[in-house]
Structure 1
Amino acid sequence: MDVKDLKRLLESVRESDISELVLETGDYKLSVKRGGELAYAPPAPAPAAAAPPPATPAAPPATPPTEAPPAAAEAAAGNLVEVTAPIVGTFYAAPSPDAPPFVKVGDRVEAGAVLCIIEAMKLMNEIEAEVGGTVREILVRNEEPVEYGQVLFRLEPS
């Protein structure tokens, strides 16, 4: 489900008299409740019943795409520099929908090179490489929402 679909779904819930909606697939679980206090609950602490714990931990690894197999990513993670999201927002891999992405896996980048844009509250924030090196992994898809501290890229320093 992309951000546009999620926005349409939330708008539909807001305009209806539905008080609770739970949508669960093999990749994720979405729970929306209306009428209570506004609160954020991260996916890991959410399990309250016996059935959700297996589904909830399975969701985060399935969401971010990796360019390398998980075992290879874990093995190589020791020498890679992680670029994390400094804010909550929407990830954009390119400066515009019809433009090529800022970087691809295998690209060499210099320190200060723009890797992506995160949109937060209609402001476009360029995320730059802190070190020069080679892009080894891109862990987020274009137009996906990202959380503060979420790993976006892994770079192999040069």
Structure 2
Amino acid sequence: MDIKDIKTLIKMVTETDITEFEIENPEERILIKRGTSTEVVHVQAPQVMAAPQAIAAAHPQVAGAPAAAAAPVAEKGDPITSPIVGTFYRAPAPDAAPYVEVGQVVEKGQVLCIVEAMKLMNEIEAEYRCKIVKICKENAQPVEFGDALFLVEKA
């Protein structure tokens, strides 16, 4: 087979959905492959239907929308955020008491929780004396950089 015939075969393979082509005769064997061997599958996540109250809050022009649903309640307090991506732990061990509870006043430098990242336990400490208003994450929950872990008020 001459080079012109090989070019024609390559062109035919690239212009179709064929990913592999092989031809063999007693004198020669030609194998043409294109693309990668890995298969990519795209899956669309199912859409979640919003509750009627959420639709009414998002679109107040909808008849019968309650007035209270239009104004979200702002949580008060300053957030203490995760400095790293990892797993949030409220206690030093599964059977130990949590480091802090809601309503507790903590001192500057006191450990609030642990964020585990790559098998390293990173203690998150209070940067100032404060009162814990809310614990934003559940124990053993994954956290991203910048996620709020606690809401606090300066004490």
Distance 1:82 1:97, change over 3 A: same
Q: How many residues align?
A: 97
Distance 1:35 1:142 in 2: 37
Distance 1:120 1:132, change over 3 A: same
Distance 2:136 2:119 in 1: 23
Of 85, 89, 99, which residue of structure 2 is paired with 1:88? 85
Q: Which protein is richer in helix relative to its size? A: 1
- Equivalence map 1:45-56=2 (5 Å): 52=47, 54=49
Q: Is 1:148 matched up with 2:127?
A: no
The corresponding residue for 1:135 is 132
Of 90, 97, 100, which residue of structure 1 is paired with 2:97? 100
Distance 1:128 1:35, change over 3 A: farther
RMSD between aligned alpha carbons? 2.9
Of 114, 118, 136, which residue of structure 1 is paired with 2:115? 118
Distance 2:88 2:116 in 1: 7
Distance 2:94 2:87 in 1: 13
Residue type of the partner of 2:47?
P
Greater Cα radius of gyration, structure 1 or 2: 2
Distance 2:40 2:92 in 1: 38
Q: CA deviation at 1:148?
A: 0.7
Residue type of the partner of 1:108?
V
Higher relative contact order at CA 8 Å, sep ≥6: structure 1 or structure 2? 1
Secondary structure at the residue paired with 1:140?
coil
Distance 1:54 1:131 in 2: 42
Q: CA deviation at 1:112?
A: 1.3
Distance 1:99 1:35, change over 3 A: farther
Q: CA deviation at 1:76?
A: 4.3
Q: TM-score, normalised by structure 2?
A: 0.55
Q: CA deviation at 1:35?
A: 5.3
- Regions of 4+ moved over 3 Å: 34-37, 73-76
Q: TM-score, normalised by structure 1?
A: 0.54
Q: Unpaired segments of 5 or more residues in structure 1?
A: 1-33, 38-47, 59-72
